Amino acid sequence: MDSSALSRFSSIHCLNSADSDKRSHFFTRRSAAAATAATADVAIEAQNLSFSIATQQGKSVPILQDCSLRIPSGQLWMLLGPNGCGKSTLLKVLAGLLNPNGGTFNVKRPKSFVFQNPDHQVVMPTVEADVSFGLGKFDLSNDEVRRRVAKALDAVGMASYMQRPVQTLSGGQKQRVAIAGALAEACKVLLLDELTTFLDEKDQIGVIKALKNTLDVSDDVTAIWVTHRLEELEYADGALYMEEGKVIKRGDASRIMNFIKAKQASYFLRN
Ligand SMILES: Nc1ncnc2c1ncn2[C@@H]1O[C@H](COP(=O)(O)OP(=O)(O)OP(=O)(O)O)[C@@H](O)[C@H]1O
């Protein structure tokens, strides 16, 4: 599957229980009995995850090492860290798109992964068709489909765009439509990989505000948001900071902000 098709598949279709069975979402070297079960108030939990890639020379290169995290239900958490530290890889493991070599994880389902390129997120001709695209598998009445689509678009502030051709949307609006698609499918966890990378400042703030509103008005939806932009931290309930394949700091947004600023200051003093 090419990356565009994978993006479309993953972002528009919630990764539900049936998918997850096929994709070995819960991988462990330990016995199933020892696996960590998510408690009612924890949406995402991972312990000691490891993930390696094999080079063409047959060498194993570790990407995630002893990586643990815990995110409470109904909250927006941000995942930060330097380029190449493993943020996207961790997200893909949590989505079930990559199988870890070790460790345990549990993510509430259904869950949905949205990629950073807005042009990979929407493919149907209109906003309404796009958001309802993933609902075909549920055998819902037309009224129920319309109700879910309207509610999801309302949550992301796109209710008045129902009949708009998707090619007329800005990048941020496309990302919001992708999030609405996941909401319409009643996803409990949104795994969002640098959605604002390709967006201008106005669109960037529009997406993060729409997401924050979505979590406020939805019942028990949790989001993890990978970003490099410190200004987005003000919208977070909590944040994780990764380095070299593992989460090294966890806390409220101001704690992580101070931690990163101190790191940046010491880097500039040394160089
Ligand atoms: N399929 C792959 N083959 C080889 N190396 C890979 C592969 N996938 C990831 N990597 C490497 O793994 C490391 C972590 O990549 P990842 O994309 O998870 O980092 P990231 O923290 O999301 O980076 P960025 O902030 O730059 O997007 C990088 O060094 C990357 O080059």
The answer to whether the CB of 83 is under 6 A from ligand 1 is yes
* pLDDT value at residue 23: 33
pLDDT per residue as tens digits for the range 34-88: 334 445 599 999 999 999 999 999 999 999 999 999 999 999 999 999 999 999 9
Q: How much is the pLDDT for 115?
A: 85
| 29 pLDDT higher than 60 | no
Q: How high is the pLDDT of residue 14?
A: 58
Cα–ligand 1 centroid distance for 175 (angstroms): 22
For the Cβ of 92 lying below 6 angstroms from any atom of ligand 1, the answer is no
Mean pLDDT of 153-176: 94
- Cβ of 63 closer than 6 Å to ligand 1, yes or no, is yes
d(CA 257, CA 112): 27
Task: State whether the Cα torsion 116-199-240-122 is positive or negative.
Answer: negative
Q: How far apart are CA 154 and CA 147, in angstroms?
A: 10
Which range among 2-11, 139-148, 179-188, 224-233 shows the weakest confidence by mean pLDDT? 2-11
Chain centroid offset of residue 120 CA: 15
List the residue whose alpha carbon is closest to atom 17 of ligand 1: 88
- Residue in 178, 133, 169 with CA at minimum distance from that of residue 11: 178
Note the ipTM here.
0.96
Ligand 1 closest atom vs CA 89: 18
pTM of the model: 0.85
| pLDDT for the residue numbered 200 | 86
pLDDT in tens, 111-155: 999 888 888 888 899 999 999 998 988 999 999 999 999 999 999
* CA 86 / ligand 1 centre spacing (Å): 6
- Of ligand 1's listed atoms, the one at least distance from the Cα of 193 is 22
Tokens standing for residue 79: 């995942």
Cα(9) to centroid(ligand 1), Å: 21
CA of 89 to the centre of ligand 1 (A): 7
Span 195-204, mean pLDDT? 85
88 Cβ below 6 A of ligand 1: yes
Query: Tens digit of pLDDT for each residue in 77-116?
Result: 999 999 999 999 999 999 999 999 999 999 999 999 988 8
Tokens 């999801």 found at: 152
How far does residue 260's CA lie from ligand 1's centre (Å)? 21
* Ligand 1 pocket residue status of 50, Cβ below 6 Å: no
Residue 119: its pLDDT value, please? 85
Q: Percentage of the chain with pLDDT > 90? A: 68
* pLDDT score for 40: 59
Closest Cα to residue 149, out of 104, 119, 180? Answer: 180
Q: How many CA atoms lie within 13 A of 211 on its CB side?
A: 32
Please say if the pLDDT value at position 17 is more than 90. no
Task: Give the C-alpha separation, 24 to 217, whole Å.
Answer: 32
With a 6 A CB cut-off, is 60 part of the ligand 1 pocket? no
Q: Is 53 in the pocket of ligand 1 (CB under 6 A)?
A: yes
CA distance 11 to 9: 6
Ligand 1 atom 23, closest CA:
84
Instruction: Label residues 165-190 b or e (16+ Cβ within 10 Å = b).
Output: ebeebebbbbbbbbbbbbbbbbbbbb
Of 214, 215, 187, nearest in space to 12 by CA: 187
The three-class DSSP label of residue 263 is helix
pLDDT reading at 235 higher than 80: yes
Query: What confidence tier does 8 reach under pLDDT thresholds 50, 70, 90?
Result: very low
Q: Is the pLDDT of residue 4 over 50?
A: no
> What type of residue sits at position 74?
G
Amino acid 92: pLDDT: 96
pLDDT at res. 266: 81
Structure confidence at residue 196 (pLDDT) = 85
Average pLDDT, the chain: 85
Q: Look at the block and give the residue holding tokens 């930060």.
A: 80
Write the residue with the smallest CA distance to atom 2 of ligand 1: 53
